[in-house]
Homo-oligomer: A and B are copies of this chain.
Amino acid sequence: MSKKITQREVAGLAKVSTGTVSRVINNHPLVSKKAKKKVLRAIETLNYTPNLVARSLAQGRTQNILVEFLDKNPILPSTWQYELPILQGINDFFALHDYSIQIGMHSLDSSSPEKLLKKILSNKSVDGFIILTSWDLDKMFVDALAKTNIPTVFLGNGPYNFEGTPVGTTILFDNYHIIQEAYTLLHSLGHRRIAFITGSENQLHAKLRLDAFREAARKYQEDLPEEYIYYGDYSVNSGTEGIHAFFKIPETPTAIICSNDLMAIGAMRAAKELSLNIPQDISIIGFDDIEVALYSTPPLTSVKVPTYELGTLGARKLLESIHEGIQGETHTLPSTLIVRNSVCRLNDQTDS
């Protein structure tokens, strides 16, 4: 840091004790106006700034929180687009509350759960912990984490399907209702043959989206042939393959919901290869609303995830957890369907 000036020197100049200086700095009520003024002037002239490390040691807390990104290798650009706004939300909230944020990034692929936690916490002392992941977390990892007693917030995916005492607070975003909303939109536009390209099944939201799709089909009492579900892996390629699979079926679908935008991009590619017009011949909906969605031709209808709000809410809940010990809650933020030109009404065609 920039200074060697300590409270002692301030106290010397202001002709008070270090205790008084400390009180002034911390806005303690029991200081005379006179003393306060003297101290503040001394601080000003010496250009004093408190040593935060010493303060942390004395107080037993660091005012630091750790934001940990837990991903698989390699991290895709679309993941980055999801994560940085969250980080911004966290940052903006904590900036208002005198907390600093540390970050860590680790791969879930490499080491054993306990080792991973050790690595994450090595060389760090923090008052709270935000875990950002869209992958299911290992039970061992969560248990080990619980033992540390550090207040924790999970963003995007949590440990909430584990039995036993709840660990931390979990903030999710809606995957379920919004897929039903997408289905309903297509249905209201006359579509009766709606297919789905699902993503990697070890990601919680992939399961949720698929379940929601199935449930929506059931709700409208529509026939859902198993061929109308293609098991992709969130990559562009698997979207392409999905379309090719669907168009080998006699009863080809008229609309397709993709579990993420990358697969939707792949689907649009494949549709063009098959000389299908979007949306006249086939309506397509994605999920994530990544930048690509906005700039594709036609612009892709997609689900926007409230990333920034996920960050701010997570930060707020962590603070509550640190101060009031609240934990075990799960919150789900609503997502938004952004309708663009990749969907349209089904015309001149016999339904179902």
- Measuring CB to CB, which residues of chain A are less than 8 angstroms from any residue of chain B? 1-2, 51-54, 56-57, 62-64, 75, 77-78, 80-81, 83-85, 87-88, 91-92, 95, 98-105, 122-126, 147-150, 236, 265, 272, 290-292, 295-297
Contact = CB atoms under 8 A, between A and B. Distances in A.
Given A2-B149, A52-B123, A77 B291 contact: yes
Nearest to A150: B2
Nearest to A127: B1
A125 B51 contact: yes
Contacts of A150: 1-2
Nearest to A289: B77
A84 B80 contact: yes
A104 B122 CA distance: 21
A88 B103 contact: no
Contacts of A63: 123
A125 B57 CA distance: 13
Nearest to A62: B53
Contacts of A291: 77-78, 81, 290-292
A133 B64 CA distance: 24
Contact of A105 (B91, B98, B126): B91
Contacts of A290: 77, 291
Interface centre among A53, A105, A147, A150 (most CB of B within 10 A): A53
